C-alpha cells in the first residue's frame, strides 16, 4: 500500500523527519525562506497532509490546488495564516500545538519585562561600543523596579497564566483582562479581573497574550498608549499587528510610556528603515518566543502527531475546527 504524500514546509530536526518518513512519502521544502504562493500550490497538488509554519499562507487558492488534502498541521499555536473557514468547508482538519509553547513564550515575555525595565540590552550595547569609562555613578543607568509592581495581563490563556506564575515570584500584583473572566484562577492565584481601560491605567507592565483576529488588530494604538502610565512598559509576545507600530513609536519617542519589548513586529521581519529601530527604550527580537530546544522539539512532535492523526482519520491532539469530525465520521 502506498504511503500518503505529505509536504513539510521547512526543515525540522532530523529525528522528527525520520519519524515522519516512516509512515509517509515526505517532501521537505529545502529553503529557509518559504515557498511562493505559486510554488506552494504546486507542492500541494498531490499531497494528503501538510505541516506548516506561520509564514505559509494556506488560503482558498492553496486549498483548491490540493484536492487530496486531509489535514493541515501548524507548527505553533497561531493559525491566522490559514483560512479556517475554507478548510472546514472542504472537510480538511486543521491542527495546532497549544500548551507546549506557553512556558517558553512566558519566559521570553518576562525576559523582555526585566530587560526593558532594567535597561539590560541598552547597557550591553553601551559596553560593547566601548563607552563604559566611569566605573560607577549613583545617577547612571537608572531603570524601574520589577518587584512589587503591577503587571496587567491582556489575555489569560495558557501563556497569560504562565506569566501570572512568574509575576508572583517577584511579589507583583497581577490584574488581567480577558474575553472570559476566570474566577477559579482569581481565587487560586489572587489575581483581579478589570476592564481593559482600567488595566492600562493601573499597570506598570502591560503584557499582551491574545490571539490575532480582526477584533485584536491594533488592539493597542494611540488612544490606549495615552492611557498608560509614563513609567509603564508594554510587552508584546502575541502577534505583531496587535500593536500599532506607528503609535508605539510616537509613544516611546515622546516618552508617553517608558519602554517596550517586542518579540513580534508588524510587518515581520521588521523593515531595516523602521523608526522603532532608532530608539533605545525598546527591546526587539526576531519572533523567538518558543525557540528553546526542548520546546521546539516537543512542538514538532505534536505537529507530527496531529498530521498523522488527520491522515488516519483520527482525532487530533489539538484541532482548530473539530466540527469536521462529525462530517468525516470521526468519534
The residues annotated as belonging to the active site are 239, 268, 287
Tell me the three cell numbers of residue 231. 513609567
- Evaluate whether 69 touches 88 at the Cβ level (below 8 Å): no
Distance CA 123, CA 81 (A): 37
Label residue 91 left, alpha or beta by phi (over 0 means left) and psi (-120 to 50 means alpha).
Answer: left
Q: How many residues does the chain have?
A: 331
Q: Is the dihedral of CA 308, 311, 315, 317 positive or negative?
A: positive
In terms of C-beta density within 10 A (0-12 exposed, 13-18 middle, 19 or more buried), how is residue 135 classed? exposed
Q: How far is CA 317 from CA 34, 106, 213, 302, 314, in A?
A: 26, 22, 23, 7, 9
Amino acid at each position: 500500500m502506498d504511503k500518503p504524500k505529505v509536504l513539510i514546509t521547512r526543515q525540522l530536526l532530523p529525528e522528527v523527519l525520520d519519524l515522519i518518513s516512516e509512515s509517509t512519502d515526505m517532501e521537505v521544502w529545502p529553503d529557509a525562506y518559504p515557498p511562493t504562493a505559486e510554488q506552494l500550490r504546486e507542492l500541494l497538488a498531490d499531497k494528503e497532509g501538510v505541516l506548516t509554519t506561520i509564514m505559509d499562507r494556506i488560503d482558498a487558492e492553496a486549498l483548491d490546488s490540493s484536492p487530496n488534502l486531509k489535514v493541515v498541521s501548524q507548527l505553533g499555536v497561531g493559525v491566522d495564516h490559514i483560512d479556517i473557514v475554507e478548510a472546514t468547508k472542504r472537510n480538511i482538519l486543521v491542527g495546532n500545538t497549544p500548551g507546549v509553547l506557553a512556558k517558553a513564550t512566558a519566559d521570553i515575555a518576562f525576559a523582555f519585562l526585566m530587560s526593558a525595565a532594567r535597561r539590560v540590552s541598552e547597557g550591553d550595547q553601551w559596553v560593547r561600543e566601548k563607552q563604559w569609562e566611569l566605573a560607577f555613578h549613583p545617577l547612571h543607568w537608572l531603570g524601574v523596579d520589577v518587584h512589587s509592581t503591577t503587571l496587567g495581563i491582556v489575555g489569560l490563556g495558557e501563556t497569560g497564566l504562565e506569566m501570572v506564575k512568574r509575576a508572583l515570584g517577584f511579589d507583583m500584583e497581577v490584574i488581567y483582562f480577558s474575553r472570559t473572566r476566570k474566577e477559579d484562577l482569581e481565587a487560586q492565584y489572587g489575581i483581579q479581573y478589570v476592564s481593559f481601560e482600567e488595566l492600562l491605567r493601573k499597570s506598570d507592565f502591560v503584557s499582551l497574550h491574545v490571539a490575532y483576529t480582526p477584533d485584536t488588530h491594533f488592539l493597542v494604538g494611540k488612544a490606549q498608549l495615552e492611557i498608560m502610565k509614563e513609567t509603564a512598559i508594554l510587552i508584546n509576545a502575541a502577534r505583531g499587528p496587535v500593536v500599532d507600530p506607528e503609535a508605539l513609536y510616537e509613544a516611546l519617542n515622546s516618552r508617553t510610556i517608558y519602554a517596550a519589548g517586542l518579540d513580534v513586529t508588524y510587518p515581520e521581519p521588521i523593515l531595516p528603515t523602521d523608526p522603532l529601530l532608532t530608539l533605545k527604550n525598546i527591546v526587539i527580537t526576531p519572533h523567538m518566543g518558543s525557540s528553546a530546544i526542548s520546546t521546539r522539539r516537543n512542538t514538532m512532535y505534536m505537529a507530527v502527531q496531529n498530521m498523522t492523526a488527520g491522515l488516519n482519520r483520527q482525532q487530533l491532539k489539538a484541532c482548530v475546527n473539530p466540527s469536521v469530525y462529525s462530517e468525516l465520521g470521526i468519534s
